[in-house]
Chain A
Amino acid sequence: MNETLQRYALAVLAHAALLLAWYLFVKLGNVPTFVMPSPGATLDALLQPNYDWWANMLVTGTEIFAGYLLALVAGVGLALAFTWSKPLESFCMPLLVSLNMIPKVALGPLIIVWFKYGVFPNSIMAFSICVFPILLTTARGLREIEPELLDLVRSLKGSRWQLFSKVQLPGALPYIFSGMKVAAILAVAGAVVGEFLGSDKGLGYLMLQVQVTLDTPAMFMAVLLITLIGMLLYGMVLALERWLVVQDARLD
C-alpha cells in the first residue's frame, strides 16, 4: 500500500514539476504571451464568456465518445462474427487490412461532402480512425486459443457456445482492452481533426477561431481541455479493464 501511495505521489510530483518548468520558462525567459502564455494566463482564458467553453467541450466530448462507442460495437461485433464464420473472415479480413492502410485523416473532406459538417460527421471521423485497432486486436484475441484447451473442451463434447463463452471470450478480453486503449487515444485525434476540417462548434473549431486573433492562452486552454476529455475516456477504459480482467491476464 505504501508503495502505491509513493507511486501516486511521484506521478503528481512529475506533473507539478512540468507546470513549474513551464511557469519558470515563461517568467524568466520573458516569453511574450502570444508565443507562450503562463499557466496563469492560460487559466484566465476560461473567464472569457464568449468562448463558450462548456458548450464546446460538450460538443467535442460527444463526438469522441459517440465515435468511440460506435467503433467499439462495430469492431467487437465484426470480430465476433468472424469467429463464427471462417469464410466471412477469409473474405473480409484482407479487405479490412487494406482499408486500414487508408490514412483516415484523408477521408475528412469526403466525409464533409457526404455528411455536411457537425457532430455526426466528426463522430464518423473518430469512428473511422479507431475502429480498426479494436477490430484487429479483438479478432487476434479470439484466435489465440491454445489448441490443447480446445482439445480439453472437445474431449468433454462441449458445445461451440461453451467454448466461446467460457474460454474464448474471456481469453480475448485482454486483447480487446489493449485495442480499446489505443483506440481511445485515436478517437480524440479523429474528432479534433474532423473539427479542424469543417465544423461550427467544438474545441477544435474554437482553436481555429482564436488562432486568427492570436489568443494563444485560449488555444492552450483548448488543447488542455481536449487532453482532459481524452484522459477521462482512457481512465474509464482502464477502470473497466481493472474490473473485468484479472491482473495477471492483462496485456502491457
Chain B
Amino acid sequence: MEPFIRLRGVSKVYRRGKSEHLAISDASFDVMPGELVSLVGPSGCGKSTLLKILAGLHPHDGGEVKIGSAAHTFDPSRDVGMVFQAPLLLKWRRILENVLLPAEILGLPAAEARERARGLLALVGLSGYEDKYPYELSGGMQQRAAIARALVHDPKLVLMDEPFGALDALTREKMNLELLRIWKEAGKTIVFVTHGISEAVFLGSRVVVLTAGPARMADNFAIDLPHPRTLDMKTHERFGEYTRRIYKLLGME
C-alpha cells in the first residue's frame, strides 16, 4: 500500500536576524492511511515544527514532504483537523457552535454540518452538552469538544499537538482510551505529538522518536501490540521494551 504521508530528509531552520536555529533535521518516515503515529521527544526536538509543516502552516527548508496518494487524495485546505494542548474553544460560542467553526470557515452546507457535529459530539461522549458554554465543561470535556471540532469537516488527517498534556494523569489515561476508540470509529490518519513516552507507545501504531540538541529524528519503529489496546498492556513485557528503547534514545538510561 502507498503511504499517505511521505517525509524524506525534511529539515527546517528558523532565522531571527543573523542567528539560525535548527528546528528539525533529517526527518524521514512514512505514515500509512488510517495509521496513528506518535511523534515523541523532549521540548525543542522539533515535533511541533513537524506538525506545523504537515499542517501547511510553515514551509520546510530541505527534503521532501508529500501528503496524499492516488487512492487517498489530500486537499490541504479541507483535509487537516487540528487539536492543541489547550482546547481553545471560543468562550462566546456554545459547544455545538464551537464544533461547527471549521465547517463555517470552509463554507460547508449548514444543515449537514450540524447533523455531523451532533453525531461527533455523541462520538466523543458529549451528547446533551450541545447548548452548553465551554466554561460549563471540565478540561477533559472541553478537549473532547476540541476533538469533535477537528473532525467536523471530515478531514483525512488529524494533527494533535500534546492534546492531553494539560490534563491530570487519570483523565489523561481515560482520554487515551477514548482517542483510540474515536480513531477506530472515525478511521482517520492521526499524527499525535507528545512528550509522554508511555502515551506514545500506548497510542501509536508507530512511534517516531525525535531528540533535541541538535533537533533530529532518532528512530522510527512499529508498535506491535494488538488492538483494541487495554490499560493492562502497559504491564506487558513488550510494552516495557518499547518504552526502554525510547528512554535509551533520549539518553535517560
**Residue ranges of A at the interface with B (Cβ–Cβ < 8 Å):** 146, 148-149, 151-158, 162, 166-167, 170-171, 173, 245-249
Residues on A with C-beta less than 8 A from B105 are: 153, 156, 158, 162, 166
Complex Cα spacing A75 to B205, Å: 54
The verdict on B133 contacting chain A, using a C-beta distance below 8 Å, is yes
B77:A156 contact, CB within 8 angstroms: yes
Complex Cα spacing A155 to B77, Å: 7
The proximity string for B residues 182-206 relative to A, scoring 1 for CB distances below 8 Å and 0 otherwise, is 0000000000000000000000000
B57:A154 contact, CB within 8 angstroms: yes
User: Could you give 17 example pairs across A and B, Cβ below 8 Å?
Assistant: A146-B88, A151-B82, A152-B84, A152-B101, A153-B105, A155-B57, A155-B80, A156-B77, A156-B80, A156-B106, A158-B105, A162-B105, A166-B101, A166-B104, A166-B105, A248-B133, A248-B134
The verdict on B144 contacting chain A, using a C-beta distance below 8 Å, is no
B86:A152 contact, CB within 8 angstroms: no
Residues on B with C-beta less than 8 A from A148 are: 84, 86, 88
B55:A170 contact, CB within 8 angstroms: no
Residues on B with C-beta less than 8 A from A170 are: 90, 92
A156:B102 contact, CB within 8 angstroms: yes
- Tell which of B80, B84, B90 touches A171, judged by Cβ atoms closer than 8 Å: B90
**Residue ranges of B at the interface with A (Cβ–Cβ < 8 Å):** 52, 55-57, 76-78, 80, 82, 84, 86, 88, 90-92, 101-102, 104-106, 133-135, 153
A197 to chain B, nearest CB (A): 42
Residues on A with C-beta less than 8 A from B77 are: 156-157
Complex Cα spacing A171 to B101, Å: 14
B80:A246 contact, CB within 8 angstroms: no
Complex Cα spacing A248 to B102, Å: 23
* A interface SS class: helix
Complex Cα spacing A245 to B101, Å: 18
Complex Cα spacing A247 to B91, Å: 9
Complex Cα spacing A44 to B41, Å: 79
B90:A155 contact, CB within 8 angstroms: no
Complex Cα spacing A166 to B92, Å: 10
Complex Cα spacing A171 to B93, Å: 11
A146:B86 contact, CB within 8 angstroms: yes
B149 to chain A, nearest CB (A): 9
- Tell which of B56, B57, B88, B92 touches A245, judged by Cβ atoms closer than 8 Å: B92
Complex Cα spacing A171 to B106, Å: 20
Complex Cα spacing A151 to B104, Å: 16
Complex Cα spacing A86 to B91, Å: 27
Residues on B with C-beta less than 8 A from A248 are: 91, 133-135
A151:B92 contact, CB within 8 angstroms: no
Residues on B with C-beta less than 8 A from A158 are: 105
Chain A minimum-CB-distance residue to B58 = A151
B80:A249 contact, CB within 8 angstroms: no
Residues on B with C-beta less than 8 A from A157 are: 76-77
A118 to chain B, nearest CB (A): 42
Chain B minimum-CB-distance residue to A163 = B105
B57:A246 contact, CB within 8 angstroms: no
B55:A151 contact, CB within 8 angstroms: yes
